[in-house]
Structure 1
């Protein structure tokens, strides 16, 4: 019974992303965390059956580029913020992808698209936390949800 529960628990396709407003650098930092097991399966389906995310830097870069292409931050007027890649790493059982951009002045809110792995697995759930700009706000991308938005209080 326990093994069945563990197997079922591993079948959940989910990723966590943090969008952090860093007051020290005045940047918006984006940190995507994927289960390494899911990333291993994804690269084989997306790129090549022999793709090796653990041992091949090229595959790691391809996966990071794939994530970046499916993630977008838009300002309150719908203009995209230009995110740049900061890097990626394997840490324990996770694959991390990092991006950042300068925080625009007078940012009143964000509209976000987060489709990483959702084209591969329709049941994929991408949870996103916005931190450092008022209360933490959590968005959940699942099913047919393409865009979600957060608004910021005027005093932040």
Structure 2
């Protein structure tokens, strides 16, 4: 159990140092991937989206998602692959907590009805350190 806690702490540190991820949803029977800004608190992963985007519709059809991070410019070069489920949240407290001034380009403020948070709940994480050491975390 202690090893799992240490791994979760290490994964959270890697997430903290990666601003972006490739986020994949399922559209019909095909994967669809896009880059998104990544926000996290430990292994609680949040992505910001507009309620009117296709990805929100895709998640309502199929909540299974995949994230890949670590290779992006400014990333840690530790590769993290996350499998999980994603829900669309318009929880006001969470929206205010995640809100950043740069979102004003897309939304009128944290109370904008189109501003939603995509909450990813990891079920499996594969982590490969920059030195090539592999680890797996399973919920």
Higher-strand-fraction structure: 2
What TM-score does the superposition give when structure 2 sets the normalisation length? 0.34
Higher-helix-fraction structure: 2
